[in-house]
Structure 1
Amino acid sequence: MSTRVETLWHLRRIMAEHGLFKTTELIPLLEQYGVHLSREQVFRLVTQKPERANLSVIAAVCAALGCTPSDLIEVRIVEEKAVAVEQTRTSLGTLRPAPARIHRPPQTPPER
């Protein structure tokens, strides 16, 4: 059995709870806390789970939306069971395809 960590990013839901439905509406809120991101950067921040996050960005998002980092990021521990795979060592029998037969096309006599 293996264990892995999964994170969920809830920024879009938190924005909706505050009546913010356009990603561009977050830009001026972040700028109030000294975080200047382009429109494209904010779009990716809202619509995709970030692989790396800057603490100043997370702090500005939390301050602007009145939430905590634990509201924004949910951490789950996922345990995966190993699946046993049975290998069958039986003969292929009828599963084997019929061998292909290649025939030469009939030869036509040369034209005079």
Structure 2
Amino acid sequence: MIKKMGYQWQLRQLMAGRNMFQTSDLVPLLAERGVILSREQVYRLVTQPPQRMSMDTLVALCDILECTPNDLIKPEVVNTQLRKTADGESGPTPIAPRRTVIRRPGQP
């Protein structure tokens, strides 16, 4: 079975559990831990799941919220690809290799 993985970003929920409802509340707390981010960067960090994050930022958030990375990031299966076989059974979608053809200008 081929699984596409994603995650739920729980920062906003953890902040609410600590009575922190303004994204700007994090700016000075992060700065105390050596992580300097603008208000706009912190807003995006709280409202959107980050694609990349420094370990320093992750550790600072865990310290501020007294949590672990597992509390901030909840893995989940986003998409599962299955195919039906002739006998009605479900099985993983096979990955068929494709041959690549390179054509140079002037060649058919």
TM-score by length of 1: 0.69
Indicate whether 1:63 and 2:28 are aligned.
Answer: no
Structure 2: 5+ residue runs without aligned partners? 85-108
- Give 1:40's aligned residue: 40
**Partners of 2:9 and 2:79 in 1: how far apart?**
20
RMSD over aligned Cα atoms: 1.5
**Residue type at the aligned position of 1:49:** P
Shift of residue 8 of structure 1?
0.8
- Give 2:23's aligned residue: 23
**Partners of 2:56 and 2:63 in 1: how far apart?**
10
**What is the identity percentage for the equivalent residue pairs of Structure 1 and Structure 2?**
44
**Residue type at the aligned position of 2:72:** L
Structure 1: 5+ residue runs without aligned partners? 85-112
- Provide Cα deviations, 1:29-73, integer angstroms capped at 9, x if missing partner: 111111010000000000000011111000001111111100001
**Richer in strand (by share):** 2
How many residues align structurally?
84
**Partners of 1:58 and 1:79 in 2: how far apart?**
27
1:1-112 residue pairs with structure 2 within 5 A? 1-78=1-78, 80-82=80-82
Q: Which one has a bigger Cα radius of gyration?
A: 1
- Provide Cα deviations, 1:75-94, integer angstroms capped at 9, x if missing partner: 1235524366xxxxxxxxxx
**Residue type at the aligned position of 1:28:** P
